[in-house]
């Protein structure tokens, strides 16, 4: 068996998952709704919902760790403690140098995520703060500041939530790594697992938003302005990268013209895709915010795609 190329593995994970840096808690909503709808059916498969819930928690953890490390030097410096036993290979180092992978990618995909305790420990190390108190007090800022609803904690009972998610990881481990001959959970627990996972991720998203951006306003005008600014920044980065490609790789005759033509066609696709996915909000005040967020995600994805192409050309 050949030597495992860790850089390639991480790149493949990124390609399969796309950017998807939106609210991961939204992935738990349909899962919980579907389980509630079919839970009384004896032919339903509760194992799937347990395994899927832990997968969402793991993906959330890894993506947020990566985002933190790449966002600020403070977090990148603290990440050294998470990587003390990691030995970087030359292929991985070369991928970082070519910006195909980031330091956040390496850290996020190297730490273990096998329990609730590990998740909390990783983020406490990066944030240099105790998280239980922050999570227990977290409120949905959108509901309270924009929708003007009462500021109730997202997590009704932090201790109960932590215990439930801890058990969720234990049950998932048994299901995936053992062949139990007796039931290891009740059907009633499945709904609790999903509901508490949703509470945890949603509260964590609010905590991380504050840690990254501070007490920024959440009225729609400010959100639209901020998201439009982030989109313009990503567009400038992409334009600069494309303009520098001829300086970084030898192109064959006609290849630059094809690249520029593909960029023009990609931009038309991006805009059409954004129009499509936000159509039902057209005419509403939130439409431009959602359009800009979708466009930014597709622009980041295009940048990553071109960086991988450039790296493959450089390697060859």
Q: Does 294 have pLDDT greater than 80?
A: yes
Residue boundaries of the structural domains of the chain: 6-213, 220-315
What average pLDDT does this structure show over 77-105?
75
pTM recorded for the entire structure: 0.68
Residues in the chain: 316
Contact of 300 with 19, CB cutoff 8 Å? yes
How is domain 220-315 classified at the CATH fold level? Substrate Binding Domain Of Dnak; Chain:A; Domain 2 (1.20.1270)
Distance from C-alpha of 202 to C-alpha of 180, rounded to nearest angstrom: 32
What average pLDDT does this structure show over 254-279?
93
231-263 residue pLDDT tens: 999 999 999 999 999 988 888 899 999 999 999
Q: Does 116 have pLDDT greater than 90?
A: yes
CB-based burial, 45-82: b 16+ in 10 Å, e otherwise: ebeebbebbbebbbbbbbbbbbbbbbeeeebbebbeeb
Q: Does 181 have pLDDT greater than 70?
A: yes
Q: Does 94 have pLDDT greater than 80?
A: no
């Amino acid at each position: 068996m050949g030597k495992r190329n860790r850089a390639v593995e991480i790149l493949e994970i990124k390609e399969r998952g796309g950017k998807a840096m939106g609210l991961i808690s939204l992935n738990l909503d349909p899962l919980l709704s579907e389980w509630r709808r079919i839970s009384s059916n004896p032919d339903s498969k509760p194992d799937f919902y347990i395994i899927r819930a832990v997968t969402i928690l793991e993906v959330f953890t890894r993506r947020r760790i990566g985002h933190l490390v790449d966002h600020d030097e403070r977090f990148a410096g603290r990440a050294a403690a998470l990587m003390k036993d990691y030995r970087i290979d030359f292929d991985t180092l070369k991928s970082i140098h070519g910006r195909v992978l980031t330091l956040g990618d390496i850290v996020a995909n190297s730490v273990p995520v096998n329990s609730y305790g590990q998740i909390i420990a990783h983020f406490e190390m990066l944030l240099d703060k105790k998280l239980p108190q922050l999570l227990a007090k977290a409120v949905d800022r959108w509901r309270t500041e924009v929708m003007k609803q009462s500021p109730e904690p997202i997590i009704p009972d932090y201790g109960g939530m932590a215990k439930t998610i801890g058990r969720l990881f234990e049950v998932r481990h048994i299901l995936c790594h053992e062949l139990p001959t007796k039931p290891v959970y009740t059907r009633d627990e499945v709904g609790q697992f999903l509901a508490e996972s949703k509470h945890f991720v949603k509260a964590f998203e609010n905590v991380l938003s504050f840690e990254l951006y501070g007490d920024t306003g959440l009225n729609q005008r400010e959100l639209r302005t901020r998201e439009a600014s982030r989109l313009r920044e990503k567009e400038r980065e992409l334009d600069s990268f494309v303009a520098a490609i001829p300086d970084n790789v030898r192109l064959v005759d006609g290849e630059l013209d094809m690249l520029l033509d593909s960029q023009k066609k990609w931009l038309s696709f991006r805009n059409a895709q954004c129009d499509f996915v936000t159509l039902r909000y057209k005419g509403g005040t939130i439409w431009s915010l959602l359009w800009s967020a979708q466009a930014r995600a597709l622009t980041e994805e295009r940048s990553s795609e071109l960086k991988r192409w450039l790296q493959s050309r450089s390697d060859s």
